[in-house]
Structure 1
């Protein structure tokens, strides 16, 4: 089966499985008697199973699981990565058939869809009074909440920002301490970097990854005053001049040769490795790339700025990442809740998240010795002040599906000469149809 056809089938399967569960009652495991008081240790013995998507912050998740396993040798987590393009369908199918892990990481943007379908364990009675939640990432907790019920806690936080290679800036005659503050400046800087020649390019746009683009191109539209997704039935998507302005900007970047040719096939699997190659002058990526780029390219000097819009000084960011949730049917709810408590603990926030130069998922933990010694983390944290987390029950179908209208619109902008007004009109119609239940 072709990749395109397979994803049309997966998208349809996800919708069917989620909708099919909407009439079911609440998960009884959250109300079958008093819950055990949460700790950061095992509630019972035996291996715990956990699913997590590939293409996310794998290094961070691996560290968190290792930290839990070191502390809890009697109930170690067996972590399985599911290809990110298959994760939603895998979760939905597993819940429908009862073949679920004990806990799982879930791209936060999908949580409302599964919460509405009552396919996640309601944790309200177990966790609502935890003091750690008072300062937990607001973006995560917003999408972890449905009809005043809580279904998860942050696993890790990603914010999108503009990473730029100071070495290439210097070689191109640009000031390494002055990143672009508008899309016009970004284009001008990219032109100078690409002019260095060889396999050096000024900018990176992932050509076949819907999620990568909402994370990095979406903020360019938001910063330019646009609105992207339809929140629900009757809501209008793709509103504002910034939509067309950014599509024109991205088209011009591709046609001018500022984007590597190989980026056209980037589906997200190697997106996180592009900046550390040292061959890309600028790209939108996430805070996870600080430590990753240093591991890949220890001698490379780089900086971080906010993703700009059309007007100088305008900026935006996508607040993303994963939640840790418990699928309906899990037999180890107490242990899974204890893992959540562990992740939010002071020690893990500082000695695992912060030590690895990843954003803490609690705001009161950002004032720590590791961040104080690392200006780049402080720079990327500024994105939290201009960040957004879209909330819609049809995010997958509208935005993240490889066959969805968002990616189709971008690919037509990047790689064709189709009239942009027509391109936008077609995408708008498709998004409205999805949001209206069509």
Structure 2
């Protein structure tokens, strides 16, 4: 999970509101149009425009659009990638000016802020009866919902899990069929792998990447019963003993020499390449690393387990990825909805997502012929059952900002001798102040 936009979405929302775009100037649809039954084919004719952020799962999105275009030659989608650092501003400017795409992919974590600002089309009456939504990724659907209204469906899913190098397990005298199921086991295994010496370390900890840490360290806290973010004004962040327990665990891993010194400067740019180096025993990373690790290191034998908590057999995962949504002002809402129906269809879930060994976005589609032939995908798909997605209107400011309280807390915990209670208290205060402004 890479670091993302530095532009405050609260500022964006305010800017949009000033333009008057949210005052009903966009085209409205008749009730008859809203009641058109969704299909997986064109509702109209002519090219559809779609924006998607760079830095996401480009290969998957390209395949999905190509599959739609093959099936629907009369209304092909013209896909444009917007640099992820520019996407939020681009969307805001487009909505303000009326120059919006017909549909777009959106980093799921930012959806609540745009939903609250009234800048996405409310799709509730069109899609709420779809049976496919019953098994759609719960993390995606949580952030696709605002005030009990629905604004999108999953485009693709990224989940975090514990990848472990079976070759290093064997060398260290560990059973490659028995990955750690608690933080204490994780520490013990890491000690043994690090003891192999050379340039091998038992664990990987990205020291300068806020997004990487919420993706991989955040679940350790959730699995230990903690709550991290403040959802809104008055909500309490960093609640539960698991926060301090995990911070102490990570501090101890650093002090024990179980991570490479260079990990401290990891800002997300090379995060996805670390496990495939073959020099890391265990690492929290995402399903995207299955293919990458094999490309980097074809001979490496590795496994995937759930990210553990303090108690044995506790686990959690971060569900990330993108939603497909419709910006206010779109003139092709029916076709955008049909594309959503297409994405969730049995055929696309199996013959596009699963065939490419990407996670299906419906849990009932995990048992398919392609995943059956690839046990690692089956293993990582288990993370969907324990995954969650933070829901807050200030995710960037609280969590993902390189200057935000989350990363400052982690770095003090990992690399200083500061009292952990004081470290947590400082972060808690700053997170509450941020949330109070939402």
TM-score > 0.5 by shorter chain: yes
1:16 maps to which of 7, 11, 16: 11
Q: Does residue 179 of the first structure (1) align with residue 179 of the second (2)?
A: yes
Once residues 212 and 383 of structure 1 are traced to their aligned partners in structure 2, the CA distance between those partners, rounded to angstroms, is 17
Kept in 2: contact 1:237–1:431 (CA 8 A): yes
**2:56 alignment partner in structure 1:** 56
In structure 2, do the counterparts of structure 1 residues 351 and 114 end up closer, same or farther at CA, with 3 Å as the change threshold? same
In structure 2, do the counterparts of structure 1 residues 403 and 30 end up closer, same or farther at CA, with 3 Å as the change threshold? farther
Question: Deviations along 1:24-69, whole A, 9 cap, x unmatched?
Answer: 3468556335224433234445443333233333332232223223
Question: Deviations along 1:67-120, whole A, 9 cap, x unmatched?
Answer: 223333444434333444444344334433444333221121221111011111
Kept in 1: contact 2:201–2:279 (CA 8 A): yes
What aligned pairs does 1:198-209 form with structure 2 within 5 A after superposition? Answer: 198-209=198-209
SS in 1 for 2:32: coil
**1:149 alignment partner in structure 2:** 149
Kept in 2: contact 1:122–1:151 (CA 8 A): yes
* Runs of 4+ off more than 6 Å: none
**2:316 alignment partner in structure 1:** 316
SS in 1 for 2:232: coil
Q: How many correspondences in the alignment?
A: 431
Higher alpha-carbon deviation: 298-307 or 35-44: 35-44
In structure 2, do the counterparts of structure 1 residues 48 and 397 end up closer, same or farther at CA, with 3 Å as the change threshold? same
Kept in 1: contact 2:207–2:264 (CA 8 A): yes
What aligned pairs does 1:76-155 form with structure 2 within 5 A after superposition? Answer: 76-155=76-155
**1:32 alignment partner in structure 2:** 30
**2:332 alignment partner in structure 1:** 332
Kept in 1: contact 2:226–2:239 (CA 8 A): yes
> In the TM superposition, what is the alpha-carbon distance from 1:245 to its structure 2 partner?
1.6
Q: CA RMSD in A?
A: 2.6
Question: Deviations along 1:199-244, whole A, 9 cap, x unmatched?
Answer: 3322222223222211110111111221111122211111122111
Once residues 169 and 325 of structure 1 are traced to their aligned partners in structure 2, the CA distance between those partners, rounded to angstroms, is 44
Once residues 67 and 292 of structure 1 are traced to their aligned partners in structure 2, the CA distance between those partners, rounded to angstroms, is 23
Once residues 345 and 75 of structure 1 are traced to their aligned partners in structure 2, the CA distance between those partners, rounded to angstroms, is 18
Once residues 71 and 312 of structure 1 are traced to their aligned partners in structure 2, the CA distance between those partners, rounded to angstroms, is 48
**2:163 alignment partner in structure 1:** 163
Higher alpha-carbon deviation: 213-222 or 44-53: 44-53
**1:69 alignment partner in structure 2:** 69
Once residues 341 and 67 of structure 1 are traced to their aligned partners in structure 2, the CA distance between those partners, rounded to angstroms, is 13
> In the TM superposition, what is the alpha-carbon distance from 1:430 to its structure 2 partner?
0.6
Once residues 397 and 325 of structure 2 are traced to their aligned partners in structure 1, the CA distance between those partners, rounded to angstroms, is 21
Once residues 47 and 292 of structure 1 are traced to their aligned partners in structure 2, the CA distance between those partners, rounded to angstroms, is 34
Once residues 348 and 28 of structure 2 are traced to their aligned partners in structure 1, the CA distance between those partners, rounded to angstroms, is 26
Normalised to the residue count of structure 2, the TM-score between the two structures is: 0.90
In structure 2, do the counterparts of structure 1 residues 102 and 436 end up closer, same or farther at CA, with 3 Å as the change threshold? same
Kept in 2: contact 1:166–1:301 (CA 8 A): yes
What aligned pairs does 1:32-431 form with structure 2 within 5 A after superposition? Answer: 32-35=30-33, 36-431=36-431
Q: Which runs of 5+ in 2 are unaligned?
A: none
SS in 2 for 1:161: strand
In structure 2, do the counterparts of structure 1 residues 199 and 85 end up closer, same or farther at CA, with 3 Å as the change threshold? farther
In structure 2, do the counterparts of structure 1 residues 196 and 66 end up closer, same or farther at CA, with 3 Å as the change threshold? farther
Once residues 258 and 177 of structure 2 are traced to their aligned partners in structure 1, the CA distance between those partners, rounded to angstroms, is 21
